Structure formats: C-alpha cells, structure tokens
Amino acid sequence: MKIMVVDDEKDIKLLFEQRFRKEIKEGKLAFLFAFSGEEAKDYLQSNGSDNLNQILSDINMPGMNGLELLKWIKDNYPELKVAMITAYGDQNNYKQAVEYGADDYMTKPIDFIQLKGKVLPK
C-alpha cells in the first residue's frame, strides 16, 4: 500500500517514517512525500494514480492549498481516496472538504494510532 503525504512542513516526513517504521520495514506501507499542492499535482500528472492507494493532505499550504488540490484530484482521479488534515477545526474547511469529496477529515496533532487503523490493510 502506497500513501502520498502532502504537507509544506518538511519535518512531517521524519514523523511519518518514525511512526510507521515497523509497517514500512515489513513492506505493509510505503510513503511518498510532496511538500506542496503543486508538487502532488505534478506527480499525479506525470505518474497517474495507479500506484497510489491514498493521499493525506494538509489544508493550509502556500500556493495551491489542500482544498484546491482535493478538488483537482477528485475532478481528475475520482477513485483516489483523499483524507484532509488540518491544524484548525474550521467548520468552513470541513464543509468545503466534504463538498469536494474528501474521504476523511482529521485534525492535528495527528492521532497515529487512529490513523494506522484507517490506512493499514485489514
């Protein structure tokens, strides 16, 4: 299973690699990191979505924000699961994410135990 994490905070890569160390080592999960909405979009335009199972995207990012990315993904790759992650429990962002087709919505700090339950194959 391969998951793309989209977040402008570069330290998120180390955090995910630490929290999912065992699952990565066992080959259950692989992560791909994009540090902007544009970088994620470029990846999908170049590679398609066939090798991705899910995208976890921050909402608040400079340039293309996570909601704009979500809308673009659902317009172009409707089968791709996208979960939105935000540091702000903003109802407007939540409503917009649901309207654009988000498959899940989480707030930071990320509860990695809960996240593992959502992303790991049963």
DSSP output for 31-74: EEEESSHHHHHHHHHHH-STT-SEEEEES--SSS-HHHHHHHHH
How confident is the model at residue 106, as a pLDDT?
Answer: 93
* Domain extent for 99: 2-119
This prediction has a pTM of 0.95
| pLDDT tens string 75-120 | 999 999 999 999 877 889 999 999 999 999 999 899 999 999 998 8
pLDDT value of position 59: 96
d(CA 103, CA 13): 22
* Tally of structural domains, the chain: 1
Provide the CATH number for the domain around residue 57.
3.40.50.2300
Quote the pLDDT of residue 87.
Answer: 85
90 by DSSP, 3-state: which?
Answer: coil
Q: Which helix (H) or strand (E) holds 11?
A: helix 11-19
pLDDT at position 84: 97
